Structures are given as C-alpha cells and as structure tokens.
Structure 1
Amino acid sequence: MKPEFFDACVTPLGWNQVDCLREHVKKSGLAEKIELVICSPLLRTMQTAVGVFGGENYTNGISAPPLMVENAADSGRPAISNLNCPPFLAVETCRERLGANPCDKRRSITEYRTLFPAIDFSLIENDEDVLWVPDVRETFESLGERGRKFIDWLWTREEKEIAIVTHSGLLWHTLRMDSKECHPTVRHEVSKYFANCELRSLVLVDRSMLGSDSPSYNYPGKIPDGVDLPSDVADKKQLEEEAQERTEPV
C-alpha cells in the first residue's frame, strides 16, 4: 500500500456516510442513551466517532475544548463541540490489524491531541506508534485474541451503553472467535462482515460474572452503631442457640 495512505483519513464519501449515520443515531434516540464512546486511535475512526456521536458544530465563545478542531487533517470540516455528548476514550487494543499497511499506522498522540483536544488518550502508554512494524503483518489469530482482550477489558467499565468505533477486520475476527459456541444462525448473523459506517447493537452477557454490577446499592446497616433493643437481644439469643446446636451430640 502506498506511503501516502499513512493513517488514512475519512474521504468525502466517508463524511457523507458519517452524516447519514449521525442523523440515524439522533432520530432513533440512541444518542441520548450512549454513556461512553470508545474509539480506535487512528485518524479515520476518531473522525467517524466525533462526527457521529459528538456535539454540534463548535462556535467561538465556547470555553470547553472541541472534540475535533476545524479542518482537522485537511478534512474541510468545521470544528465539533464536546458539549451535550458522551465522553470519548481512545483505546489501543481496538485498532485495525497491525503492520505492513501504512494506513494502519497511527500518528503520535501529541499530534492527535492537537486535532482532537477533548478525546481522552490517557490509556495509551506510548506517544509514538510502537506496535506497527513495516515488514510484518499481524496474524488473524493474534488479531482475534487482541479483540477478545478488548472485550475482557470492556467488562471492567461501569457504563452499560457504550459505542465502539473500530474496524471491520478486528470486529469480524473477534466476533467469529467469540461466537463459536453460539447457534449457527446466531454465529452467522453476529459475524457478518461490517460495511463502512455500519452500526450494530450487541448485548454482551457475562456468564462468568466478571463484569457483574458492583454492590453499589448494598448498605451495611448499624449506622450509627449502638445498642438496639430488643433486636440486639434477639440476635444474641439466636447466635447462642445456633452455637449450642453445633455442640450438642446428634
């Protein structure tokens, strides 16, 4: 692939697709439900993410930094506000297949921060792209495993409604791997290849309880602490009776 395709941006046709998807997201009511937007730290996915789920056009006088500056990467697009929209988080593990193709090599995080000031890049450890190498293409198996690690990480998030803006290759290999135990009809539907700017809703169920709700509604009681008659007397008596039952011969 040609070097000029390095970290490829959204094309004019792609921006039209972004605008159409944004309209759908608004009309369907989905925009009001999304709690977090996670995106791959490549130019085209971040442009898509802010174009679909970001605020309205940025105007002078707004003190908050924009999600995307005006004409980012010569896009010809106006700046996009981060007001009245969910937070955006860039995550390295949901990148496209690594290596060989210049379009899948990212820019430095320092440069990205100038283009997308309101996107959170704090989870990305290295400023420069240390994962992409010019002469080795990531295997499909490695790509799928990386996708599964990304899903495992998703369980650690508290948000329930998350929009993920990533790449068709990663999604296809990850969902095929994760749906092996599903009914063939379900697996076929889940692992269809994604079209550009396609949106699918998936409900992930964590059978291992790794991502179950924390007991945030539990309450320990006895606050403030003190003698509570007669319940304390009854509790003490019950404990004594249970202890006696355990010591009596059968």
Structure 2
Amino acid sequence: MTARIEIDGLRVEVEGKEILKGLDLVVAQGETHALMGPNGSGKSTLAYAIAGHPAYEVTGGAIRFDGEDVSEMSPDERAQVGLFLAMQYPTEIPGVSMTNFLRTAVNATRDEDLPVREFMTQLKGHMADLKMDEGFLQRNVNEGFSGGEKKRFEILQMAMLQPRIAVLDETDSGLDIDALKIVSDGVNRLRGPDLGVLLITHYTRILNYIQPDHVHVMAAGRIVKTGGADLAETLESEGYEQFA
C-alpha cells in the first residue's frame, strides 16, 4: 500500500502567533512536490509541524500519515513510521560522532539492529555517492562542517534511514553550484516508488536538477496555487507579488 501524508485544514501557532491558516496538502510515496513561496509564508513552519517540533502548536486541522493522526506522536515516533525532515539549518552535536549518530538513528527506526558490517557497507556506499570523504566518520555531527557538508549529511541521513516521506526544508540554501549538483544527485538517486518528497524552496534553481511532479505556491499560511513543473518557471519570471 502506498503511504501518504495528508494535511487537512492545518492551523499552527508559534509563540501565540498563527502562521498556518488552514493549509491542505497531500504527498504520496513516489511523488515529488515542490513547495515555493516568499519569506514568511509559513513553509518552514509546515516542515517543523510535520516533524513534531514542540514550539509549533497545532491548533486546528490534522496531519495524517497512512490515515493515522500523528499530532500526538513524538518526533522519534514519527521517524519510526517513516517521516523524515532535512533541516534548513542543521545543528551541531558536539561529542557525538557521525558514525554513532547514524547507527543509533538507523537502529531506532528498524525492528532489529542492522549488523555492523552491513551498516558500514551501506554507509560508505552512500558517502561515496555524495562525495564525502570517509574521514567524516570520525567527526562530530555537523561540528566544523561547511554549509554544503551539512546539507550532504542531511541527505546521507535520508539515505540510511530510508523514510517513506521526506521533507527537505530549503536544502539548496547556501549551496554553491557544485554542492547543489551533488545534493540534487543524492536526492534523485533515492527517489522512486518507495519515497515521497516535499521539497521546500524559495528559488527554482534546485528544480533544474530535481524535477517535481507538482508545484505548490504558499502565501500567508495557505497554499494558494498548484500546478505542474511549468508553474515554477512562471514564478521565476513573474515572482510572488501576484500572490501577496
């Protein structure tokens, strides 16, 4: 059965201010959706609400995954059922090696522990695909990483965790063209019938490398227009003012 996330009339507050104001969206496995919009439209709020960040209070509507309301699930439980968030600003975790972090995360989302040999084989294979030196294995999570390295590590996590629905919050932010191509190639390598992707972005440049099936425009806490890949081209030429 194809997994899907269904967002129905979602309202979310942050510090008492309503950011999402009745948002509707459905993303299924095998689909790639691009969510675009100006700063302040609520795109990142949606990402964090899906992931279960405690600062983002759902005050109305529902987020359903495989028909089950996830609002009462912890972030860990959401990851276990197959939801994944690649953050716009990945955080550093001093004292925790990348290898230990990934192994703990992988085992936490599976019914049984992945054998060490198999884990390392998979990990090194995905790192090679993302052009990450194996020296990263001994480094602490995101500590001293460049912007591009942090974003590649997010995609590495996605590759290892094998989610069913992945939300990528401005994965292209701060990337030069070479890093953008590597990250995009990593996402494209993982795309397929078992993965649904919600790609949140301001700009169309990443969509030159990751072809979306659907494009949504967000403004003032709602999705105000939906179309195909050509909608992104319209936004590139005309901007967001028409939706203000």
- The TM-score normalised by the length of structure 1 is 0.28
Name whichever structure is richer in strand by fraction. Answer: 2
Q: Relative CO higher for 1 or 2, CA cutoff 8 Å, sep ≥ 6?
A: 2
- The TM-score normalised by the length of structure 2 is 0.28
